[in-house]
Amino acid sequence: MSSSRLSDPVIFRQLPLIARIIQDETWLEGERRGCPVSTDDPVVREKVCTVVLRIGAGMRIRLTSPWSGQIDAREHA
């Protein structure tokens, strides 16, 4: 990933959630097959992409909203 993408605050804030999605989809695919699978498995990659694309737009809207700072403050109160 290029350094310009890592400097995007939205992508940077999405990284922990994306890592969790990768972990979850890897585990789920291993359960489906009945054996461990790699995070590089094509089925896992496809499922991760599907999930990230589905939720990515909503995450970007939430993270770039002018009210996002207020929402965060209320959640941590």
CA distance 23 to 67: 30
CA distance 33 to 28: 9
Q: Which residues contact 55 (CB under 8 A, 6 or more apart)?
A: 17
Backbone torsion region of residue 34, taken as left when φ is above 0, otherwise alpha when ψ lies between -120 and 50, otherwise beta: left
The pLDDT assigned to 42 comes to: 97
pLDDT, tens digit, 9 for 90 and up, residues 16-49: 989 999 999 999 999 999 999 999 999 999 999 9
pLDDT at 69 over 70: no
The larger pLDDT score, comparing residue 60 to residue 17, is at 17
